[in-house]
Amino acid sequence: MIDQEKLVELVQWVRKTYIIEKNGKKVKISKNIKQTEQVTIAILTYRPLPEHEIEVNDSPTSDLKEPLADITNIIRVHTKRFYETVYTSTSEDEDDQPLVKQKKTVHIKPGTSYDLSADNIHPLLIKNGTHMLVKVPSKNKVEYTYLGVAKSCVDEDGDVQVMFNKTVDDTGKIFKLVKSDVSDVMFENLIKIIPSPKEVKRGRRVYYEFDKPIEVFEK
């Protein structure tokens, strides 16, 4: 029997793609849009039958049976998991597909729940001031690689604010910070974390020098 009904809220994230104009060029960006839906679920409870005495019939053809024991019905309610973020979609045909499919409880322990090898990064490791390589796809399907520095942590939409750098020579070690070039970047476009550089001043200008060449592919 239905004991009670409960109103719950289901949440899913849908990726939307927009075309904006930046520095005179059209740039495609993707945003994760939060959508909610309220549904009613029924909570079922089984109540055992009361115990009672069985009247015995003296007839030899009567069937004697044990008194009905306490019945406990264990109800296993299957709950569809609806929180499971998928970051592997790259096709434009899948841009409007829901990112969130199923619910999944994850207890994050850095170093055990995720691969933290040199070419992999974890959302908990991204914070203000973290240097990293960023993948920047173009409309002609060429993927450029830039050096960026995080100006925020990864937000609930899976985005991080990044300020970009540009090389100043052919060594690949010295970069300048372009303070006007700030964009929201999806976490899936972050390639790897780079050790922090040292600050170098040349007159009034400030540059950032790394111990090893940084492999970038700039436009």
Judge if 139 and 211 occupy the same domain: yes
Range(s) of the domain holding residue 132: 109-219
Judge if 113 and 219 occupy the same domain: yes
Judge if 39 and 79 occupy the same domain: yes
Judge if 96 and 67 occupy the same domain: yes
Please state which of the ranges 34-48, 92-106, 124-138 shows the lowest mean pLDDT.
92-106
Judge if 91 and 132 occupy the same domain: no
Judge if 151 and 175 occupy the same domain: yes
Whether residue 156 is contained in a domain is answered as: yes
pLDDT at residue 219 above 50? yes
Judge if 99 and 118 occupy the same domain: no
Judge if 5 and 75 occupy the same domain: yes
Half-sphere exposure (Cβ direction) of 146: Cα atoms closer than 13 Å = 23
Judge if 219 and 199 occupy the same domain: yes
Task: Identify the band that residue 5 occupies on the pLDDT scale cut at 50, 70 and 90.
Answer: confident
- Kindly report the pTM of this predicted structure: 0.46
178-196: per-residue pLDDT in tens? 999 999 999 999 999 999 9
Task: Identify the band that residue 75 occupies on the pLDDT scale cut at 50, 70 and 90.
Answer: very low
Judge if 215 and 147 occupy the same domain: yes
58-69: per-residue pLDDT in tens? 555 545 455 544
Judge if 80 and 138 occupy the same domain: no
